[in-house]
Structure 1
Amino acid sequence: MSSSAPERRLRADRARQAADVIRQQVVQRAFPDGVLPDEMFLATEFSVSRNTIREALDLLREEGLIERVPGVGTVVVTEKYAHGLNHLMGLAETLHEHGEVTNDVRAAGPIKPPSPVAQRLRLGDGEQVVYVERLRRLNGLPLSLDLTYLAMDVGLPLLDEDLRHRDIFSLIEQTSGQRLGTAAVTLEAVNADLHAATVLEVPKGAALLVVERLSHFADGRPVDLEFIRMRGDRLTMRAECRRTP
C-alpha cells in the first residue's frame, strides 16, 4: 500500500466532517447573503488544509447545494427546508413561513384497499377506502409525492373540499369534528424509480426520503395511512428527542 494512502483517507474523513457542518449551516440559513466564507477562513475554522476544504465543498457541490460563482465566491444555490417530526402537522403547516404549498391532485376517490392497508386501518372485509394521490409543491417546486389511504367515513367528505390548497390533516379535523392524536412514523431512504423521478423532477436514482405515517384520532382509531416520497435535496427531517429512564 502506498505510504500516502492513510493521509488521503484522513483528508477525506476531515472533508466529510467539514461538509456535514457546512451543510447544516446552509439548512439553518447561517449565511444570510447566501455566500459562504472564503476557503482560508473555512480552513482556519475547521483546522484543516485548504485542499481539505475544497474537497468538502466539492461534496456539497455534487449534492447540488452550492456552486462556485466567479467574482462572487461559493454561493448557496439550493434551499433545504426542515420538516419537523415532533408534531403531527401537514406540510403546509410545517413550511408556512417559506411560501405557498399547493397540491396537484393526481387521483382522489374510493378504491378497494390492499389487505395490508385494510389491516393497518382496522377495516373489515370488503370495506373500501378513499385514496388520494398528490404532488406537493412549495412555491411551484415539487417537494413530495403523497399516497394517502383514508377510512371511508373520514375520506369521503374531503372529496368536496379544497384538496389543492389545504392539508388533509386540517380538513379531517374540520369535517369530522374530531382531533387527530398520534401517529406512528417510519423513515427510510430509497433511490427514485423512473416514475417518481419524473413526477418529482429529479434524476432517476436520486435520493428520496420515504415516510410511512399512520395517523390516529385522539381516541386511538387509525384513520390515515400515508406513503410520502420526499426530495432528499430539498427537505431535511428534524426532531427533538429526550432520553428517559
Structure 2
Amino acid sequence: MAMRALDRDGTTPLWQQLQGDLLARLEAGEFAGQFPGELALVEDYGVSRHTVRQALRQLRADRVIVATRGRQPRVAESAEIQQPMGALYSLFAAVEAAGLAQHSVVRTLDVRADGVVAARLGLEGSEPLVYLERLRLAGGIPLALDRVWLPADVARPLLEADFSHTSLYTELADRAGVRLGTGHEEIHAVNPTAAERALLDSPPDIAAFSIHRLGYARDRAVEWRHSLVRGDRFALTAGFSARTGYQLHHAAAAALTTAAP
C-alpha cells in the first residue's frame, strides 16, 4: 500500500497534519471497523512513533478516539443516552427511549436516619427516611449508581415495591399518591472511587456525572437523590442561539415531565 502523503516542507507540524488526515478519514467512515494501531500508522505515514503519539494524544483529549495502556485505539462511541437539560427527566424512560433494556439491581431498600439528608429535606435529624440504592443497567451494562432518600411518612409504602424494573416516581405516585412537580439539580464531573468504578464497570480514563437532585411535591421537599452516571454512556443536551443564549429543550422536557427515574 502506498504511503500517505504529508507536507514535510511546510510549516504545519507533522503530528498536526497526521491528526487532520485521521479526522478526515474518520469523518469519511474509513475506520468503522477498526482504528489502526501506532505501528500501522508509522508505516502508513512514514513518520516516527513519537509523531503518531502526539497526534493520537490530541484525538484522545478531544474524545475522538479511546485508547488505554496496552490496548489498541478505538473510535469513541457517542453517548447512548441523551437527556435534555431543564426537565424533571426520567432516567428509566430515557434508557428505554434509546432502545435499551432497563434493569436495576437493588442494593439496599430500608428505613434509616440520616441527619445530613434530613436537614436537606427540611426535617429533624432523627426523622426516619426510606433509602433506596440501585445499580442501574442499560442494555445489560452498568449505567448509574443511584441513591435516593425520601421521608418515611410519605414513602414507607415503597418498601413493598420491586424496583428491578420500575421507576421510583411511578411507584411513588401509585403507592403513596405523591407526584413530583419541581426540583433543583447540581451536576459535576468527577472521577469515581475505585469501588464505584468497579460497580459501574467503567474504564479507568472515563469520568462520571455526579448529579444531586432535590425534588419537591407541591411545596414540600420529598426527594434527595445522588446519581453517579458513566460519562461515556450519558450526555446532557441544550440548544442555543446568538440572540437568546441557551434554550432548554422544552418540547423534549415536557414529554418527560410526568415520567420517572
| Superposed pair shares fold, TM > 0.5 | yes
User: Which residue number corresponds to residue 238 of structure 1?
Assistant: 237
Q: Tell me the alpha carbon deviations over residues 65-109 of structure 1, each in whole angstroms, 9 at most, x when there is no partner.
A: xx999xxxx866565321233321221112222222111000110
The change in CA–CA distance for 1:189 and 1:124 in structure 2 (over 3 A counts) is same
User: Which residue number corresponds to residue 222 of structure 1?
Assistant: 221
Report the Cα distance in structure 2 between the residues aligned to 1:88 and 1:171, rounded to whole angstroms: 16
Paired residues for 1:18-167 under 5 Å: 35=32, 57-59=59-61, 60-62=64-66, 79-98=79-98, 99-113=100-114, 115-167=115-167
Letter in 1 for 2:213: R
Report the Cα distance in structure 1 between the residues aligned to 2:125 and 2:78, rounded to whole angstroms: 47
Letter in 1 for 2:66: E
The change in CA–CA distance for 1:229 and 1:125 in structure 2 (over 3 A counts) is closer
1:104 is paired with a residue of what secondary structure? Answer: strand
- Shifted more, 104-113 versus 117-126: the winner is 117-126
User: Which residue number corresponds to residue 177 of structure 1?
Assistant: 177
The change in CA–CA distance for 1:81 and 1:63 in structure 2 (over 3 A counts) is farther
Report the Cα distance in structure 1 between the residues aligned to 2:245 and 2:60, rounded to whole angstroms: 36
Q: Tell me the alpha carbon deviations over residues 157-201 of structure 1, each in whole angstroms, 9 at most, x when there is no partner.
A: 111112111111121122222321111000001111111011001
1:164 is paired with a residue of what secondary structure? Answer: helix
2:65 is paired with a residue of what secondary structure? Answer: helix
Kept in 2: contact 1:90–1:168 (CA 8 A): no
When the two structures are superposed, what TM-score results if normalisation uses the length of structure 2?
0.66
Rg bigger for which structure? 2
Which runs of no fewer than 5 residues in structure 2 stay unpaired? 1-10, 34-53, 247-261
**Aligned-residue offset at 1:211:** 0.3
Identity of matched residues, %: 25
**Aligned-residue offset at 1:233:** 1.0
Considering only aligned residues, what root-mean-square deviation do their CA atoms show, in Å? 4.0
**Aligned-residue offset at 1:213:** 0.5
Report the Cα distance in structure 1 between the residues aligned to 2:93 and 2:200, rounded to whole angstroms: 21
Corresponding pairs, count: 209
- Shifted more, 226-235 versus 151-160: the winner is 151-160
**Aligned-residue offset at 1:240:** 4.7
Kept in 1: contact 2:65–2:75 (CA 8 A): no
Report the Cα distance in structure 2 between the residues aligned to 1:88 and 1:180, rounded to whole angstroms: 8
1:87 is paired with a residue of what secondary structure? Answer: coil
- Highest RCO, 1 vs 2 (Cα 8 Å, sep ≥ 6): 2
**Aligned-residue offset at 1:153:** 2.4
Report the Cα distance in structure 2 between the residues aligned to 1:87 and 1:150, rounded to whole angstroms: 20
2:132 is paired with a residue of what secondary structure? Answer: strand
